[in-house]
């Protein structure tokens, strides 16, 4: 490839466990055809900096592990093609989440806390009969639930939310999306009154300032804008 570029990956490195203060470090990598940031970072780790920390599992935008700030915007390293980026690419860990080191953050801890706070699981009145056939569900409804269930908890919406950056107790789009998902599910017997208890305040849906960073950076293209607006209408009518 005649016009092959040499990319500079400018990585914000740190290691809180070892007391290493945050600092920028540049790594030069030859760009390859169809290269993703995930591939470039692996090359850096294999050839230049074995201690470089970043997370990945699936390499296909499914696991949500490789979320990071790419040139300041949250995104998945495995889905970011280097050809769409400039010759100097800045990479930083996602804010809000507990920093493990370099580009690695503990999204799991934050997500679990949100799941516990919002009780994002099916609440049924009766214990299920494990021997009985599950009640059928309309395909359209199942698809609507599945659409919201596509969230991979990568944390991009959290990092892209100005409200959450200012007010750390805000539930964020990931939490509101989960509420919308369980609200749709007929197996969950909770009512809007019950959901109001969880998100009917300024750290819940009424705290959302509709900045839409969540919607615009979501790597899965979830309909966060419409879901949050829908929840806001429902919770407002419940709260009146």
Binding site for other proteins (CB under 8 A): 69, 72-73, 95, 112-113, 115-119, 121-125, 127-128, 160, 162, 165-167, 189-190, 193-194, 196-198, 200-202, 204, 206, 208-213, 216-217, 223, 225-226, 229-230, 232-233, 235-236, 238-240
**Of 41 and 159, which CB lies nearer to other proteins in the complex structure?**
159
Nearer CB in complex with other proteins: 24/60: 24
Residue with tokens 């994002």: 120
Comparison of 13 and 35: residue with beta carbon closer to other proteins: 13
Residue holding tokens 């009917």? 200
Q: Whole-number minimum distance, CB 133 to other proteins, in Å? A: 18
Reduced to 3 states (helix: H, G, I; strand: E, B; else coil), residue 81 is: strand
Q: How far is the CB of 60 from other proteins (least distance, A)?
A: 24
- Minimum Å distance from CB 179 to other proteins? 13
Q: Cβ closer to other proteins: 30 or 168?
A: 168
* Nearest distance from C-beta of residue 114 to other proteins, angstroms: 10
Task: Cite the beta strand spans of 54-175 per DSSP E.
Answer: 67-70, 73-76, 88-92, 98-101, 104-106
Helical H segments across 48-188, by residue range: 107-118, 139-149, 156-159, 162-166, 172-184
Q: Provide CB contacts within 8 A for 206, sequence distance 6+.
A: 200, 232, 235, 236
103 contacts 89 by C-beta, under 8 angstroms: no
Between 95 and 108, name the residue whose CB sits nearer to other proteins.
95
Nearer to other proteins, 42 or 225 (CB): 225
**Distance between CA atoms of residues 103 and 22, nearest Å:** 11
Identity of the residue, 17 or 72, whose beta carbon is nearer to other proteins in the bound complex? 72
Supply the minimum distance, in Å, between the C-beta of residue 83 and other proteins.
20
CA 66 to chain centre: 10
CB of 33 to other proteins, least distance (A): 28
Q: How far is the CB of 211 from other proteins (least distance, A)?
A: 5
- Which contiguous run of DSSP H or E holds residue 95? none
Q: Is 88 exposed, middle or buried (0-12, 13-18, 19+ CB in 10 A)?
A: exposed
Residue 15: other Cβ atoms inside 10 A: 16
User: Dmax over Cα atoms in the chain, in whole Å?
Assistant: 67
CA distance 71 to 55: 18
């Amino acid at each position: 490839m005649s016009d092959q570029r040499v990319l500079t990956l400018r990585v914000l490195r740190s290691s809180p466990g070892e007391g290493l203060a945050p600092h920028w470090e540049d790594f030069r990598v030859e760009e390859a055809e169809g290269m993703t940031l995930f591939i470039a970072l692996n090359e850096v780790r294999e050839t230049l900096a074995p201690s470089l920390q970043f997370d990945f599992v699936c390499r296909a935008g499914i696991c949500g592990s490789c979320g990071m700030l790419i040139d300041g915007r949250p995104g998945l390293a495995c889905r970011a093609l280097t050809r769409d980026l400039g010759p100097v690419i800045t990479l930083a860990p996602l804010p809000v989440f507990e920093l493990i080191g370099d580009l690695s953050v503990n999204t799991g801890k934050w997500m679990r806390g949100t799941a516990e706070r919002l009780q994002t699981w099916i609440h049924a009145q009766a214990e299920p009969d494990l021997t009985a056939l599950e009640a059928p569900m309309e395909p359209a409804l199942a698809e609507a639930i599945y659409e919201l269930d596509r969230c991979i908890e990568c944390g991009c919406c959290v990092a892209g939310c100005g409200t959450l950056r200012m007010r750390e107790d805000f539930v964020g789009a990931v939490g509101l999306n989960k509420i919308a998902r369980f609200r749709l599910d007929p197996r969950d017997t909770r009512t809007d009154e019950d959901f109001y208890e969880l998100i009917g305040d300024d750290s819940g849906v009424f705290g959302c300032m509709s900045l839409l960073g969540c919607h615009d950076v979501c790597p899965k293209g979830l309909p966060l804008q419409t879901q949050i607006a829908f929840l806001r209408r429902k919770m407002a009518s419940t709260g009146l």
